[in-house]
Chain A
Amino acid sequence: MNQAAATPAHAHRDDFGAKLGMWLFLITEMLLFSGLFLAYAYMRARYPAEFHHAGGEMNAVLGVTNTLVLLTSSLSMGLAILAIQRGERSRALLGLAVTILLGLVFLGNKAFEWTAEIHHGNYPGSKHLATLPPGEQVFFGLYYTMTGLHGLHVLVGITMLTVMAVLVARGRINQDRNVMLENGGLYWHLVDVVWIFLLPLFYLAA
């Protein structure tokens, strides 16, 4: 999305255009998840009792912890952008480092949680899951798909922010040219917002 900073010399710089492009991209991301939210809404209306029961097997403490981790990372992301706009490069780098670290903590928690669920036999294709009522099987199918897709987005976000941290360190992203970092921040916040919806749908469903 962040082409404006790197287009050939003849193209004029257009920060507004770059942000517009990013917002359009975010719309596509929201719609990507909305397909799954739609599937969730339909299935939950179809199997309310099963969703309630299966939601009880989720680890709500882990879910809420991860929510706090992601929300804090959005704060540090915002602070990093604020810092670069003020020309404070080292503070911006600190903000990015904290954001990346919290992203990794989130993924670590997620891995721990998935491992535990798989250990309990709650994974697609398992013998245990096949014995559960259909509604609960669908619940776990949606759980892995939605949190998995979200986790993939966190991973992409971490990679992207790492690249941007390098660009900040090299001065390619600076006080004057920082729309790329702003766009990166927008992406990170989107990932955050999606999680805020995932938390009640799965961890607080019981």
Chain B
Amino acid sequence: MTLTAREPLGPSGPSGSGPLGLSGPSYLDDIGPRHGLLAWITSTDHKRVGVLYLYSTLTFFAVGVLLGLLMRLVQLSPFHHLVTAQTYNALFTVHGVLMIFLFVIPGLPPVFGNFMLPLMIGARDVAFPRLNLASWYFFMGGALIVLVALFTGGGPPDTGWTFYVPFSLKTGTNVTLAVFGAFILGFSSMLTGINFITTIHRLRAPGMGWFRMPLFPWALYATSWIQVLATPILAITLVLVMLERLVGIGIFDPAKGGDPILYQHLFWTYSHPAVYIMILPAMGAITEILPTFARRTVFGYKAIAFSSIAIAGVGSLVWAHHMFTSGMSQFAIMLFSLLTMVVAVPSAIKVFNWTATLYKGSIDFQPPLLYALTFIFLFSIGGLTGVMQGALAVNVHVHDTYFIVGHFHYVMFGGTGFAFFSALLYWFPKMFGRMYSRRTAYVAWPFLFVGFNMLYFTMLVLGLQGMPRRYYNHLAVFNTGHVVATVGSWFLAVGLLIFFANLVRARFRGAPAPANPWGGVTLEWATSSPPITENFETIPLVTQGPYVFPEFPDSDEEGA
């Protein structure tokens, strides 16, 4: 499809209607017999489900941030006795569980995937709208169980988010219930995956072949396959932990002939691919944002599309690099080290294609682009420190140190987190029909960027110096690093506060946004802001690739 003219930025007339969504009530208006909250939690509209996910995941994110801040604070000596060592164990466990299972995994696919996937492929909804709403209920149910587990039984789990046996079998804390909550959350993730795969196969607009599909849906497609193929392994592993704790079946218990290493294998068979559930959709969102602000078709469309599939494939074969020090055979270690290096290749393909997309582009520097570039920078550090750990000798040295903590925060927060922020800034006007203050979005950035790097780069250094992760105390030699990191966490918190205050204000008082504030050319910009309930008045007919800009009509790489 082609949009004839780019609309001016900022408020433009009474409504933000687009060429394919001219009239009708927006999805934000209650059109059924129910009103208010009840209308939202019973709606199968993919846009409403996406917004439900947005609000719920951000709530859990806020709690996770507060726990993280508290953990950092405890490392300063005046505040060290705010919590006991046992509470500190609970803090890092709950921080990890909340952030991973309730924010990063359900961050991009259920929020922006739900909202944008049908819009971007020119569909009216996902393939199974009621199942989609059911996924949200599973999500909230699982979250509720996890939260209940914190305050009942033996108290919050203290095992770390990985629930490693044998400790998770012996501890008196409420591991069983927390694990059950994670099991239910897995259902939610799996059902979303099934829904998206079917949607992409069956509901693309007429004329939209696989290679005319935008790259965010491509990334979601790869992600969904991981969700379908990997999540059941986590489910059965968690079931085994529960059974082990409840009746003692002995499969992970060496005293009964079981093997704790088997747990690690099963756990990481899911949990490493899960890392790609977290990062792939983030990469997809970045791939949408860069062409829009470079006013240029994406460089290497097919390479980016296939690298998503390659990451999903190879990423499923690297899990044991979490276990180099656990006593596997030397051959297995060598093989997994090699595969770990290999998985860096498709990720690097993406990074190079993104930078090449910017080259000779006509760059329109807007907040989403700033955050997208930050993503590339931070993700590159995260990715490269990951390759370092893939090397055996380094791995043994940095195992279970702050280096690991720094690394995965660069990937998960600097990568997925900043991509989430970038996507939020990019699609916010579309989702809510309102524009935030772009200046405030810029103001938040230095706090976030400086705070982030003070916090996590310091962790990388601390880790190389030998600071072990998950320790309540630290030696005096690490004092400076801990102070720097904690002060960084304050900058980061201020940045987050400014960033989200801006969006909350815009949600209620922002100026009306035009249908296409950024001059994007994918289909979601063709409908109104916010989109009408039916998405499009008529389903569009797709006649060319996804990133053909009117300024450069010949830029269709496919030549279709």
Contact = CB atoms under 8 A, between A and B. Distances in A.
B341 interface: no
B202 A14 contact: yes
Interface in A94-138: 124-125, 133-138
Nearest to B125: A11
B233 A31 contact: yes
Contact of B201 (A1, A17, A33, A124): A17
Interface string A1-41: 10110111011001011001100110111111111101100
A205 B179 CA distance: 33
Interface stretch (A76-84, A141-149, A159-167): A141-149
Nearest to A142: B251
Query: By DSSP majority rule, is chain B's interface helix, strand, loop, or mixed?
Result: helix
Given A3-B128, A11-B124, A141-B258, A149 B239 contact: yes
Contact of B256 (A11, A16, A21, A134): A134
A11 B258 CA distance: 50
A35 B195 contact: no
Interface in B234-251: 235-237, 239-240, 243, 247-251
Given A24-B198, A27-B229, A138-B258, A145 B251 contact: yes
Query: By DSSP majority rule, is chain A's interface helix, strand, loop, or mixed?
Result: helix
A43 interface: yes
Contacts of A42: 259, 262
A129 to B, nearest CB: 8
A16 B194 CA distance: 14
Contacts of A3: 127-131
A28 B232 contact: yes
Contacts of B233: 31-32, 34-35
Contact of B127 (A17, A135, A142): A17
A141 B251 contact: yes
The CB with the most chain B CB atoms within 10 A, among A16, A43, A141, is that of A141
Interface residues of B, number: 42
Nearest to B201: A20
B202 A138 contact: no
B262 A39 contact: yes
A199 B269 CA distance: 27
Given A38-B266, A39-B251, A125-B247, A32 B201 contact: no
B440 interface: no
B247 A28 contact: no
A144 B243 CA distance: 10
B400 interface: no
B190 interface: yes
A20 B228 CA distance: 13
Contact of A10 (B235, B257, B534): B534
B183 to A, nearest CB: 11
Nearest to B254: A134
Contacts of A138: 250-251, 256-258
A171 B193 CA distance: 32
A134 B197 CA distance: 44
Nearest to B257: A134
Contact of A11 (B129, B251, B259): B129
Contacts of A43: 251, 257-259
Given A20-B202, A35-B232, A1 B131 contact: yes
Contact of B250 (A1, A21, A124): A124
B249 A145 contact: yes
B323 to A, nearest CB: 15
Contacts of B128: 1, 3-4, 7, 21
Nearest to B197: A24
Nearest to B251: A141
A60 to B, nearest CB: 23
A124 B266 contact: no
A24 B191 CA distance: 9
Contacts of B130: 3, 6-7
The CB with the most chain A CB atoms within 10 A, among B44, B128, B130, B243, is that of B128
Nearest to B233: A35
B231 interface: yes
Contacts of B235: 32
The CB with the most chain A CB atoms within 10 A, among B193, B202, B255, B269, is that of B202
Contact of B249 (A4, A29, A133, A141): A141
Contacts of A33: 236
A94 B534 CA distance: 42
A32 B257 contact: no
Given A11-B129, A29-B232, A17 B198 contact: yes
A21 B200 CA distance: 11
A142 B202 CA distance: 40
A41 to B, nearest CB: 11
A35 B243 CA distance: 15
Contacts of B201: 17, 20
A137 B229 CA distance: 30
A46 B258 CA distance: 10
Contacts of B269: 35
B125 A141 contact: no
B534 to A, nearest CB: 7
Nearest to A20: B198
Given A134-B257, A138-B256, A138-B258, A7 B247 contact: no
Given A29-B232, A32-B235, A124-B247, A8 B129 contact: yes
A35 B125 CA distance: 34
A10 B198 contact: no
Contacts of B259: 42-43, 46
Interface in B156-198: 190, 193-195, 197-198
A180 B236 CA distance: 27
B145 to A, nearest CB: 19
B193 to A, nearest CB: 8
A172 B36 CA distance: 32
Given A20-B202, A27-B228, A42-B259, 16 more contacts: A1-B194, A4-B128, A17-B203, A21-B127, A21-B194, A32-B233, A33-B236, A39-B262, A43-B258, A133-B257, A134-B258, A137-B250, A137-B256, A138-B250, A138-B256, A145-B251
13 contacts: A17-B202, A21-B131, A25-B194, A28-B231, A33-B236, A38-B266, A125-B247, A125-B248, A134-B256, A134-B257, A138-B251, A138-B256, A145-B240
Interface of A: 1, 3-4, 6-8, 10-11, 14, 16-17, 20-21, 24-25, 27-36, 38-39, 42-43, 46-47, 50, 124-125, 133-138, 141-142, 144-145, 149
Report the 9 A-B pairs with minimum CB-CB distance, sorted nearest first. Answer: A134-B257, A141-B249, A35-B236, A31-B232, A3-B128, A32-B232, A17-B202, A138-B257, A141-B250
